[in-house]
Amino acid sequence: MQVFDRHEVLDRKEIENLQAIRLKNTVHQATASTFYRNSLARASVKVPDINSHEDIARLPFTTKEDLREQYPFGFLAMPKEKMVRLHASSGTTGSPTVILHTQNDLNVWADLVARSMHCAGVRSSDVFQNMSGYGLFTGGLGIHYGAERLGCLTIPAGVGNSKRQIKMLGDYKVSVAHIIPSYALHLGSVFDDQGVDPRSMHLRIMLIGAEPHSEEIRSRIQEIYGVRAYNSYGLSEMNGPGVAFECEYQTGMHLWEDAYLAEIIDPETLEPVPQGQTGELVLTTLTREGMPILRYRTRDLTRFIPGECPCGRSHRRIDRITGRSDDMIVIKGVNIYPMQVEKILMSIPEVGQNYIIQLERQGHMDQMRVKVEIRDEFFVEDMRRLQQIQNKIAGLLREEILISPKIDLVEHNTLPQSQGKATRVVDKREEGK
C-alpha cells in the first residue's frame, strides 16, 4: 500500500486519541461563534466536558436550517478578515448555506483531496481533466486544488460542451477524469454520436461523485470507458470533496476520521444505529478553524461497512449513499427511494442512460410514472417487442418497490439532460389537483 501521508495509516487507537484531542479543540474553537456559543450554553455543554471521541453525544445537532438562519456569518469562529474563500449552495429555496475558509482550512482541504485521489490510484504523473462545475459549487475547486497538490497536470475543463471535452481527452492524453455519474453516461452517448470509441482514449481512472448513484451506474461507466470508476463522497458543509473515498479495492469509501468524526443515527429517534445498519450520516469537522461545524445532520443515508479493508487502512468505510432521509417518496402507503428505481433500470440491458421518475395525481390517488430511454437497437416499430420491454421493466420494479408504476418508453436522447446533478424526480402532483 502506497500512502500520501502518515495519517492514512493510523491504527484505531491512534485515530481515536487524535479525535479526542481535535474534538476538544474544535468545541473550544466553535464557542467563538455566535451560534455555538448560544447552542452549547442551552445544552449545558462546556469544553472541559469533552475528553474523548465518545463525548460527541453530549453535543447538540446542527442542521441545514441552522446554517440558513445564521446566514451569512453567524457560524464564523474567527474574524471575517481572516477568511479567504466563500462557498455557498444555490439558495433556490431560501437563504443559501454559506461556508467560509481560512487559508489553513484550504491547505488542509487540498491535502485531504490529494490523499483521496492518491488512495484511488492517481499519481503525479497523471494528466487530470476536471469536468466539474467551478464557482460557488465546491466540487470544481476542491478537486482542482487536490489534483495540483498531488502534482497532476490539471485541466480545469468545467462542465458542458461535450464535443470539446472529448477533444481535450484525446489531445492531451488525459488519464484521470473527475465527472458526475449522470454526465459520464451522457458523454458516452456523445462519443457514440461522434463515432468515437470512448475506450480509445488514454483514460484509466474516473472519479465519480456529487450525486447518489447505484452500483449498476458505476458498472455502466466502467464498461463504456474501460476504466476503474471510484466512488467518492463530500458535501459543502464539510468542505466539499475529500470526506470519503474508495481505495483501489472499491469495497466502500474510507472516511478520513482524522478530519471528520462520523456517526450514523436513526433519523427518527436520533439514536445510534447498530453497527452495519443503514441510517443518517452525522459529521463533525475536526480540523477546520474558520467555521467548525458540530454534529451536522447530512440527511444522507449510508452505513459503516463491518470488517477490515484489504488495503490495510483503519479509517472506517461507509457504503455508497442510498439516498437522503428527506427524499423518500410515499406512494399508496409504500416508502420508495429513487435509488431503488435506478438500481433496477440500470440492470436492464434494453434501458439507455437516462430516466425520470414523475409523480402525478389521478383523482385522489398518487401515481408514479417512470419515463425510460431505450437503446436505439431496441427502440423498433414492432409494438409487441416494445410491450415486452415495458412489461419487463414494470414487473421488475413491482418486485422491488411493491407498486406498479406506469412505464413510458422513449427514444434515446429525448429526455432532458443536465450538465450538473441530474434531476431524477419531478413532482407534478399539485398540477393534478
Whether residue 263 is found in the same domain as residue 398: no
228 DSSP β-pair partners:
205
292, 326, 360: which is the final residue of a domain? 326
302, 326, 350: which is the final residue of a domain? 326
CA-closest candidate to residue 164, choices 197, 185, 134, 190: 190
Whether residue 247 is found in the same domain as residue 298: yes
pTM: 0.86
Say if CB 387 and CB 305 are below 8 A apart. Answer: no
Rounded to whole angstroms, the Cα distance separating 49 from 56 reads: 10
Whether residue 212 is found in the same domain as residue 129: yes
**Residue 223 Cα to chain centre, angstroms:** 21
DSSP-assigned letters across all residues of 272-334: BPPTT--EEEEEEESS-SSS---SEEEEEEE-BPPS--TT---SPEEPPP-EETT--EEETTE
Whether residue 311 is found in the same domain as residue 392: no
Position 92 scores a pLDDT of 47
Whether residue 196 is found in the same domain as residue 66: yes
C-alpha cell at 70: 445564521
Whether residue 106 is found in the same domain as residue 12: yes
Position 243 scores a pLDDT of 98
CATH number for position 378: 3.30.300.30
The angle formed by the CA atoms of residues 108, 113 and 116, to the nearest 5 degrees, is 125
Whether residue 34 is found in the same domain as residue 87: yes
100 DSSP β-pair partners:
86
Whether residue 295 is found in the same domain as residue 336: no
Q: What is the pLDDT along the chain (433 residues), one digit of tens a residue?
A: 889 999 999 999 999 999 999 999 999 999 999 999 999 999 999 999 999 999 999 999 999 999 999 999 999 999 999 999 999 986 545 688 999 999 999 999 999 999 999 999 999 999 999 999 899 989 999 999 999 999 999 999 998 899 999 999 999 999 999 999 989 999 999 999 999 999 999 999 999 988 888 899 999 999 999 999 999 999 999 999 999 999 999 999 999 999 999 999 999 999 999 999 999 999 999 999 999 999 999 999 999 999 999 999 999 999 999 888 777 888 877 888 888 899 999 999 999 989 999 999 887 678 999 999 999 888 877 888 999 999 999 999 999 998 889 999 999 889 988 767 788 899 988 775 5
Residue with cell 470519503: 244
Sheet of 425-427: strand order equals: 406-411, 365-374, 351-362, 425-427
Whether residue 230 is found in the same domain as residue 130: yes
Rg (CA), the chain: 22
The number of folded domains in the chain is 2
308, 326, 344: which is the final residue of a domain? 326
Domain that holds residue 259: 1-326
Say if CB 88 and CB 96 are below 8 A apart. Answer: yes
Whether residue 199 is found in the same domain as residue 344: no
Position 433 scores a pLDDT of 55
Whether residue 320 is found in the same domain as residue 333: no
Say if CB 338 and CB 329 are below 8 A apart. Answer: yes
C-alpha cell at 99: 461556508
